[in-house]
Amino acid sequence: MQNMTDNADALPAFRIGLNSKRKRAIDLLVDPPGSQMEPLTIWTRQFATDEDRDALLEGMDEGRIDPIFLGRLTMTFGGAALDDLADGLTAAARARRLEEEKAEAQRAREHLVVDLYTREGKHGRHLLELQRMSCNKADWKVAYDRAIERDRLCDWLRWQKSRFLEFLDHAAQHGDEALARLLVDEMFATERRVKKEGRGAGGSRPLRMWRGD
């Protein structure tokens, strides 16, 4: 990979190239236009990782670093000045990668956190939703014409938090309606059991006083 200056008036001309003999090393070369001599290497840097090396190369590709500037810096102040510049670039790139890794890890954690919400939808519809913390919209929802129907299912579903991921997997595989039927069937079974045990609240929301036991 090379980045050459096209400015023929810049004497001498400088370019960066990959070192063919050393892994993850790059060279800064001086190559005066019209010269019959082999380009002269005035600085070499071997990087610890491909990412560190690419931080400098990408800066040049994006136009943020000018090889003419690097050449003049090295010719004026020696290789230590360019070493300092490379150290700063690699340190900044490492910090960015670390922040990106932290953000990705946070997104992965939030993807596994699912919460239950009751909302009011359009046209007077009453919604019950499961939503991942990593998303800004529900992964699954069911709508009812009457709030009491939604709340009846919510009385049961709110105690199933340990199964929310399982429910979303079921919806992803079989569809939202299939999950809604599954949840309602389990709710009915729980209502019958709680009523038989004499612990139901009766009325349209028999599980409203239930605590998931």
**Nearest C-alpha neighbor of 56 from the set 70, 68, 76:** 70
pLDDT at 139: 97
pLDDT band per the 50, 70, 90 thresholds, residue 4: very low
Q: Encode pLDDT of 26-49 as tens digits.
A: 998 887 766 677 888 889 999 999
How far are the Cα atoms of 64, 182, 200, 206 from residue 195, in angstroms, in the given order?
A: 72, 20, 5, 8
Helices (H), the chain: 50-61, 67-77, 79-111, 147-157, 164-174, 176-196
Q: Encode pLDDT of 84-94 as tens digits.
A: 988 988 999 99
How far are the Cα atoms of 25, 109, 112, 118, 135 from residue 168, in angstroms, in the given order?
A: 49, 16, 10, 17, 13
Query: For residues 117 and 136, is the Cβ–Cβ distance under 8 A?
Result: no
Nearest-angstrom CA–CA distance, 213 and 210: 8
pLDDT at 59: 79
pLDDT band per the 50, 70, 90 thresholds, residue 100: very high
Q: Encode pLDDT of 158-189 as tens digits.
A: 999 999 999 999 999 999 999 999 999 999 99
pTM of the model: 0.68
Question: What DSSP letter does each residue of 12-48 carry, written as one string?
Answer: S-EEEEE-SSSTTEEEEEE--TT--SPPEEEEEEE-S
Query: For residues 16 and 2, is the Cβ–Cβ distance under 8 A?
Result: yes
Query: For residues 107 and 61, is the Cβ–Cβ distance under 8 A?
Result: no
For residue 158, what are its two tokens? 């709110």
